[in-house]
Amino acid sequence: MKNLLVAQSGGPTSAINATLAGIISCAQISDQIDNIYGAVNGIEGVMEENFIDLRDKIDNSEALQLLCQTPAAALGSCRLKLNDQAQLARIIEVLQKNSISYFIYIGGNDSMDTIAKLSLYCRVHNITGISIMGAPKTIDNDLCGTDHCPGFGSAAKYIATTFSELERDCHVYARKAVTIVEVMGRNAGWLTAASALSRLNGGKGPDLIYLCESPLNPESFIRDVQQKLSEEDAVLIAVSEGVKLPDGKYVSEIVQPQATDNFGHSYIAGASSVLETLVRNKIGCKVRSIELNLMQRCASHLQSATDEDESRMVGMKAVQAALNGESGKMASIIRTSDKPYRVTYGLVDIDVAANAEKKVPADWISESGNDVTQKMIDYLTPLIQGESRITWKNGIPETMVLY
């Protein structure tokens, strides 16, 4: 008996279930896999043996497609850092007890850390017969070892669309005003950079873009805003939630305590609110701040067809690699051509992705530090192309529930 187990972890995306669909569809046609299980709530569900039978839940192509358009993690998620050998031993015990020969974990940087620790545990203890693979996802696009991350393209499409709509809304009044929009991204500004794509159809888009990679000097920021206000009736600003001051502290740390999560990451949010207060105090004009928050990662109605297709293929690649005996690897996307846009799929050692962050290159950010260059636009544009086939019911998109 050889079974496959899949779990999802970390922050969801609107395409994470497309990767799950790719895993299921590939596993269904393999004569090397008997049962396909899903662990509820990530690695926590593995340790608790909280499994569901995915062959029973997803039994036709229509169900697979519905799964692809369902936002968030259909299997549930968790943010658990594995800290001791007892946890690793428990996971391997559960896998062996349930005849799991293939374990695939869909997640981001911290999830790949879990895969790295499990793979190392198996090597150290000479445990064989279990292939442990990672399938990437994150809207932050900060995973190393892959050209871009499944889930990012759809989030970028949402950001580009939202900024194109906000830009029109901001210019309906004669009274000068500033709108500051906070975009997700702790230490990498890829998603904030996607706001520039709102200019593709001729719109002005954001007037100023501040990424995590460039320190934000409050005095320079105010000068930038004042200059734009002298030229425009309204100023639209995109800012990463993880934007930092010149001393390295997060802008958001000005107004919130030094709380951290299980992985030691500072809780960050509120940079736009800090900057709103700064503009109000220094300039005195009408100003508002907006946190897009969870909408960035769950807007499946704006899913990129390119992202959905690639997300499914990454899941299939992870299964194929596991069936071929690979372990301790992450499936990856390799860009082979920009124009026309083409990719292929490969594998990287899990240590390349675990606990590492891919930052925006310096030459993709303008010299002034308040915009992006054409290199960024060329990189991003293919990732938002196409619209996924969404089925609607009673006026809203259909979704599915697995557990």
Active site residues: 140
Q: CA dist 211 to 50, 147, 350, 394, Å?
A: 40, 19, 27, 40
Q: Is the peptide bond before 340 cis (omega within 30 degrees of 0)?
A: yes
User: Which residues, in sequence order, are CB contacts of 309 under 8 Å at separation 6+?
Assistant: 18
Give start and end residues of each alpha helix (H) in 200-334. 218-231, 271-282, 295-298, 305-323
Question: Distance between CA 273 and CA 14 in Å, rounded?
Answer: 26
What are the φ and ψ backbone dihedral angles of 382, each rounded to 5 degrees? -65, -25
Question: Distance between CA 9 and CA 175 in Å, rounded?
Answer: 46
Q: Residue 199 corresponds to which amino acid?
A: R
Cα dihedral 108→111→115→120 (10° resolution):
110
Give start and end residues of each alpha helix (H) in 171-287. 190-193, 218-231, 271-282
What residue has token string 């425009």? 232
What residue has token string 């895993």? 23
285 is written with which tokens? 């004009």
Asked whether the beta carbons of 265 and 195 are under 8 A apart, the reply is no
Specify which residues 106 forms β-bridges with: 8, 135
User: Which residues, in sequence order, are CB contacts of 396 under 8 Å at separation 6+?
Assistant: none
Cα dihedral 165→167→168→169 (10° resolution):
90
DSSP 358: P
Collapsed DSSP state (helix, strand, coil) of residue 202? coil
